[in-house]
Each structure stands twice: as structure tokens, then as C-alpha cells.
Amino acid sequence: MPSDRKNLQRLDGKCAVITGATGGIGEATAKLFLDLGAKVMLVGRNGDKLAETCARLGEGANCSTAIADSTDEAAIAAAVNATLQQFGSLDILVANAGTEGVLKPIEALSVEDFEEVLRVNVIGSG
């Protein structure tokens, strides 16, 4: 194997979970990790978007999906368990899930709107 190819496979045998996997940063991270030889579990809230993302990445058995909201600790635990069952290990976690929240003038934001951003971006387990 040429040395440049060896460097490209530096994540061989590793497994990553990426939350917020259907967004731009999540998908780009998954692509990079797959290119570097990792197996990747894509985690997000929308099953259709997850399936589309996994299909775009085109990595077959090295890419899988789990539906979970990052604010739901049990759902994140189930996604981790699914990863361990499918790939046998978990070496990397990219806790990328996030939200910008409701977009409106600050005086129009409710406390609930603000708390939702905190739940996802600060408190969320994924």
C-alpha cells in the first residue's frame, strides 16, 4: 500500500457516532471519517434525512443510522447500544447536534424558545 493511502486509512478499525449527522458539519465529518477508514453511526431526529445522508455517503456496511433527539438521554443511550451491536466498538463521539432556535427578534422570544436552545446546545447528551 502506498504511504499516502496508508495515511488515508488512519481510522481503520475505529467506529464513530456523529450526532446532528444530517446537517452540513455532521455529514462532512461522516464523509471524512469514512474516507479515513472508520465505521460511522449517523444519529439524528429524522429517519428519512438520515437514510438520505447515509445513501449519499455511499459506504454500505460502514455507515448506519439511529434516530435520536440529543435532548433524550434514553434515545442517545439506545443509539450508542445500536452502534455497539452493529460495529462492536465505539471509539469516537462527535457531539455535533445543535439548533439555532426560533429566529425572531429577541423581544419576541419566549422563555420556552430560549430554554429549547439550551436543552439542545448545552444540556443535550448528544
3 state SS of 28: helix
Structural domains of the chain ordered from first start = 3-97 (3.40.50.720)
Q: List, for residues 19-52, the tens digit of each pLDDT value.
A: 999 999 999 999 999 999 999 999 999 999 999 9
pTM as predicted:
0.85
CA distance 49 to 55: 10
Q: List, for residues 68-103, the tens digit of each pLDDT value.
A: 999 999 999 999 999 999 999 999 999 999 888 889
Q: What percent of the chain has pLDDT over 70?
A: 92
3 state SS of 126: coil
The whole-number pLDDT of residue 62 equals 96
With cut-offs at 50, 70 and 90, classify the pLDDT of residue 119.
Answer: confident
What is the overall mean pLDDT for the chain?
A: 90
Residue 1 has pLDDT above 50, yes or no: no
Residue 93: phi and psi, rounded to 5, are -125, 125
The whole-number pLDDT of residue 7 equals 60
CA distance 82 to 6: 29
- H/E segment holding residue 90: none
Is residue 50 within 8 A of residue 65, CB to CB? The reply is: yes
Q: Provide the 10 A C-beta neighbour count for residue 111.
A: 7
Residue with cell 448545552: 122
With cut-offs at 50, 70 and 90, classify the pLDDT of residue 5.
Answer: low
Cell digits of residue 8 = 488515508
3 state SS of 58: coil
